């Protein structure tokens, strides 16, 4: 009787473990944004690499280098920076976790709007920037809100919205790299860039 009881208990345990191992399926977010599935003993399916990406390791996916496109974009950015420097366009600075235009920002944008009215054929990209605090995703959204606030104010001042493009860099392109409040303030900005194309 004892031997039969042990056999039944053993089979019952083995059946439960098998059912548990097959029934536990967990979906997790893969590094390339696609979903992968872990089944049974936690062995993931092969990760997916999208076109234009290169898998460096199981956890790291990077964009494939396209040297000519990168070189052209770098040249465009240098031309835009040089052209912008000659305009006298002023940036707009924001408080921590804010995207509302301050009185100083309104004065700067009034000057910028006057320059745009005088130079009617020119177009701008308005870049939204943040300091390094907060997550990447949060700062991208906050940077976009800042850039859109600048665009909206310029449109209210009579500038055609078609001349104003908005982009957000979040915390990716800091103007100042020190970890001080003064430096953080410089990074919380709406930066106006003269488009060369």
Q: How much is the pLDDT for 30?
A: 45
CATH 3.30.1330.60 fits domain 73-194: yes
Q: What's the predicted TM-score (pTM) here?
A: 0.63
Whether residue 164 contacts residue 151, with contact meaning beta carbons closer than 8 Å, is answered with: yes
What lies within 8 Å, CB to CB, of 71 at 6+ separation is: none
- CA neighbor of 95 nearest in space, from 139, 134, 131: 131
Chunked in runs of 10, what are the mean pLDDT values of the chain (197 residues)?
52 50 46 45 50 56 66 76 80 96 97 96 95 94 97 98 95 91 93 87
Q: How much is the pLDDT for 50?
A: 54
Helix (H) or strand (E) holding 122: none
In degrees, to the nearest 5, what angle opens at C-alpha 163 toward C-alphas 192 and 146? 40
For residue 46, give the 3-state DSSP assignment: coil
Q: Where are the domains of the chain?
A: 25-64, 73-194
Q: How much is the pLDDT for 39?
A: 45
Whether residue 40 contacts residue 22, with contact meaning beta carbons closer than 8 Å, is answered with: yes
């Amino acid at each position: 009787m004892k031997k039969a009881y042990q056999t039944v208990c053993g089979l019952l345990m083995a059946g439960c473990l098998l059912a548990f191992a097959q029934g536990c399926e967990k979906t997790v977010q893969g590094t390339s944004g696609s979903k992968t599935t872990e089944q049974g003993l936690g062995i993931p399916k092969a990760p997916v690499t999208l076109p234009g990406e290169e898998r460096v390791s199981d956890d790291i996916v990077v964009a494939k280098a396209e040297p000519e496109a990168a070189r052209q974009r770098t040249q465009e950015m240098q031309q835009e920076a040089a052209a912008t420097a000659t305009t006298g366009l002023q940036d707009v600075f924001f408080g921590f976790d804010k995207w509302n235009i301050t009185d100083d920002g309104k004065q700067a944008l009034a000057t910028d709007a006057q320059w745009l009215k005088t130079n009617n054929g020119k177009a701008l990209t308005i870049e939204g920037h943040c300091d390094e605090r907060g997550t990447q995703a949060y700062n991208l959204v906050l940077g976009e809100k800042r850039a859109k606030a600048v665009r909206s104010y310029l449109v209210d001042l009579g500038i055609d919205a078609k001349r104003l493009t908005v982009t957000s860099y979040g915390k990716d392109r800091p103007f100042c790299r020190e970890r001080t409040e003064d430096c953080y303030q410089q990074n919380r900005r709406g930066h106006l860039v003269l488009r060369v194309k």
